[in-house]
Chain A
Amino acid sequence: MNVPAEPFAAEIVAVDDHTFVRREMQAALPPPRRQVGIIGWMRENLFSSILNTILTLVGIALVLLIVPPLVRFLVIDAVWTGDNREACLAPGTGACWPFVKAKFGQFIYGFYPIDQRWRVNVVFALGAALLAPLLVLSWPGKKLNAFLFFGVYPVIAFILLTGGNINASAFLLQRFNLIRPLTGDVTVAGLNVAFWADYILTAVGAGLGALLGNARGLARAVAATMLVLGVIILAWDIDFGLQPVETRQWGGLLVTLVIAVTGIVTSLPLGILLALGRRSKMPIVRLLSIIFIEFWRGVPLITVLFFATYMLPLFLPTGTNPDGLLRALVGVAMFTAAYLAETVRGGLQAIPKGQYEGAMAMGLTWGQMMRLIILPQALTLVIPSIVNSFISLFKDTTLVLIVSIFDFLGQLRAAFTDPNWASPVTLYTGFAFAGIVYFLFCFGMSRYSMFVERRLDTSHRH
C-alpha cells in the first residue's frame, strides 16, 4: 500500500523543479466593473430595479428642488448689512440677516434690562461650565458635579436672574395673612420679627411634640428641616445689591431655557415618586398616582397653562398671586412629571425580579432597596428616554406664548410686527433663524441621547 505513495511524492518534487510552473497563485481578476466602485455601488443601491430607479430619480429631483433655492436664499442672495427694512426691500433678495442682528438681543434676553444682561450671560456660562463635565461620561467627580449643578447652581441662577432680594419672610407673611391683627399697620420690619417669632415657636412646638411622643429621631429630623429651611429663608432675605428684575421682563431664549431646565429638574423627582406610587402595593396611593398621571397625560398643555396662568388665583385664598412665570413653570413641571413617571415606570419594570428579591433577602428596607439597588439601575436604563422627554419639553416651551409669556418663538413673532423691519423676506428670515436654533438644540440633545444609549448598553445582544 505504500508503493504508490512514493512516486507521487517524487512527482511533486519534480514538479517543483520545473521553472515554467507558476510559483505563486495568480491574482484574482477584479470583479466586473459593473459591480464595484461608484458604478457598482450605484447599480446596487440606486438602480437595482425599475421602482428603485424611479424612486432615485424622484429623490434627486426633490433634493435639487429644495437644496439650491435654500442655499441661495440663506447665503448667496442674502443681505448681510443694513439698518432697517430699506436694505431688504429689493426684489429677489434672500434672507434679511440685519433683521436678526437688530433683534438678536430681544431673541436672547427679551426685555431684560440691557445694562443687567451680563447676569444672564454669567448664568448661561456657569450652566454650560457645569453641564459639560456632567455630560462627559468618563469625567471624574460626578457626585460633586451633580450636587453643584442640581443643588447650588439653581440657587445662584435664581439670585442672579431675579436679583435675589425677594424678602421671603415678608412674602410668606403676606401670602398667609399671618399676624396681621397683631401688628395693625403693616411694616416689613414688624412683620419680620413676628414671622421669626412664629417660625421659632412652630419649630420648638413641633420638636417638643415629637419628643413627647418618644420619637427622638423624628425630633432631630424636624429640627434639621426647620434649620435648613430657616437658613434658606434667611438667605432670601439678604440684599445682594443686585437690581431686581421681575420675570415679566424676561424673555426670549432665556425664558425657553429657564422653563426647560427648571421643568426637567423639578419634574424628575416628582416623576420618580409617581412611578413608585403607581407600582406601590398600597391601593390608595396607587389609585391617586394613576389618576394624577392619566389626568395630566390626557389633557393638552395649552389648557393646563391657561388654567395655571389665569384661573389658579381663583382657587387660592384671596390675594394669593404667585408669579406668572412660576405658575407656568408649575404647570409645565406637573405635565412633564406625568410623562416622566411613565418613562421611569418602564425602567422599573425592566429590572429583573431577582434584584428586588436579592435586596430584600439582604434585609434592606424598602427605601434602601430603591435608593441603592433598583433606582440606580432603572434610571440608567431610561436616561435616553429622559433626554427625549427633555427634548419634547424644550419644544413645548413654545406654548407659553399662548399665555402671554414671550419665549424665543414669542419674541420672534413680536419682532415680525415691527414696521421698521417689515419686508417680504422678514418672515422667512425669522423662521429660518428660529428653525436653525431650535434644530441645533434638539438635534444635539437627540444625538447625545443616542450616544449615551450606546455607551450604557450592557445587554448582551449579538
Chain B
Amino acid sequence: MKRLLSTLALCGAFGLAAAGAQAAKLDQIKSKGFIQCGVSQGLPGFSTPDDKGNWTGIDVDFCRAVASAIFDDPTKVKFTPLSAKDRFTALQSGDIDILSRNTTWTISRDTSLGLNFAGVIYYDGQGFMIRKDKKVNSAMELSGASVCTQTGTTTEQNLADFFRANNMTYEVIAFATNDEVVKAYDAGRCDVLTTDRSGLAGERLKLTNPDDHIVLPEIISKEPLGPAVSHGDDQWFDIVKWVYFAQLNAEELGVNQKNVEEQLKSANPEVKRLLGTEGKFGEGMGLTNDWAYRIVKHVGNYGEMYDRNVGPDTPLKLARGVNALWNKGGLQYGMPIR
C-alpha cells in the first residue's frame, strides 16, 4: 500500500514535469541522433538487407543522403522494414521519420492519408511477369488468369482497373509481404505476378529459375515512386525535398563523389551555391551550408546512386529511360538552388 502510494507520488512528480511543448522534427532527430527510415522488407535494388543485415538499395541510399546532410554521417540512420500494408500507419504514428519504400505518389495518399511526397526517385509503371511456357505475349491475353500481388499497393487497384477496362476476368490473390507473393507465384498458385516493372526485375532474381519467366511489354499504370514524410512539419519536408533536388543538381553540374573536393574550388556560381561556398541556403533549412557537399561526399549524386543500385551494371539491368535527367530526354529535373 505504502509502496504503491510512493510509486504513484513518483509518477505524479514526473508526470507534471513531462508536460512540455512539441519539438520540431529536425530538433527531435538531432537530439536522438539518427533518422528512422521506413524501407521495404526486401526488394533488390531498392531496399534489401544482405546476410549480415546491412541494407542496400536506392531507397536506402536516399535515407543515407538525408542523414549525411544532417549529421555529416551516412550511418546515422536506422531502418524499419515495413510491409506495404503497414507503411502508412507507421509514418502517420511517427514510428518512422521518413518513408522511403518504393511508394507511389497518388492524390489520396498525399491528401487524406496525411503524407507529403518529396519527389520522385524512380519513375515506374506496373507490369506483368509470367512463365514462358504459358506462351503469352501480351497482357491482353490474360483473361481468366490468377494474379498474385501485394496487399495495400496501388498495384492492387490498377489491376482491378485494367481488367475491368478491358472486359477480362481475373482472380487476385493478395499477400501481405513481397516474399509471400514470390513464393506463391513460384509454387504455381498464380499464373501472373504483377508489381512495378522495377520490382519485377528485382523479384525475378528471387525465383528458382529466373530464366523461365518473362516480363510482358505492357505498362498499365504510372508509378512515380518517391520518399514521403507526414504532414505538419514544413521544415522537415523541405529538407527531404531538397536533398533529392541537390542530388539531381549535382549530377547535372557534373559534381560526383570522386571530384567533389576539387569542385569546392570551382568558379561556377551554380556549383558554388550547391556546395555551400556561396550563399547561406543550408542555414535556411536548419542545416549547415555544406549540406549538399556532405550528401555528394558520402552518397554521391543521383546518377551514381542509380547506377550503383539499379543501373545496367547491376543484376537488375534497368536502363535510365525516363529516369534520365531532363536535359538528356528524361523526367528528372532538379529545382534550382538560388
Contacts and interface: CB of A to CB of B under 8 A. Distances in A.
A262 B78 CA distance: 24
Interface string B1-43: 1110111011001100110111100011011100010000110
Chain A contact surface mostly: helix
Nearest to A306: B86
A249 B14 CA distance: 32
A248 B80 contact: yes
A229 B13 CA distance: 14
A222 B90 contact: no
Interface in A402-447: 402-404, 413-414, 416-417, 419, 422-424
Contacts, number: 124
Contact of B36 (A111, A113, A321, A403): A321
A178 B32 contact: no
B271 to A, nearest CB: 32
Interface stretch (B102-110, B200-208, B279-287): B200-208
A314 interface: yes
Contacts of A416: 179, 183
A206 B53 contact: no
A225 B18 contact: no
Nearest to A218: B2
Interface string B68-81: 00000000001111
B234 to A, nearest CB: 16
B2 to A, nearest CB: 5
B6 A206 contact: yes
Most buried by A among B6, B10, B31, B80: B6
B2 A217 contact: yes
B334 to A, nearest CB: 32
A414 B94 contact: no
A331 to B, nearest CB: 14
Interface string A162-176: 000000000000101
Contacts of B41: 404
Given A111-B53, A248-B78, A310-B90, A177 B18 contact: yes
A319 B21 CA distance: 11
B152 interface: no
A364 interface: no
Contacts of B3: 221, 225
Interface residues of A, number: 53
Nearest to A226: B10
Contacts of A423: 208
Interface in A330-354: none
A404 B94 contact: no
Interface in A299-324: 306, 309-314, 317-319, 321, 324
Contact of B5 (A205, A218, A310): A218
Interface in A258-317: 306, 309-314, 317
12 contacts: A180-B20, A180-B21, A202-B14, A205-B13, A206-B13, A225-B10, A367-B1, A403-B86, A404-B86, A417-B183, A419-B205, A423-B208
Interface of A: 106, 110-111, 113-114, 174, 176-178, 180-181, 186, 198, 202, 205-206, 209-210, 215, 217-218, 221-222, 225-226, 229, 246, 248-249, 306, 309-314, 317-319, 321, 324, 367, 402-404, 413-414, 416-417, 419, 422-424
Given A222-B10, A417-B182, 17 more contacts: A111-B53, A202-B13, A202-B17, A206-B13, A209-B9, A218-B2, A222-B9, A225-B7, A229-B10, A309-B95, A314-B92, A319-B22, A324-B95, A404-B80, A414-B42, A417-B206, A422-B206
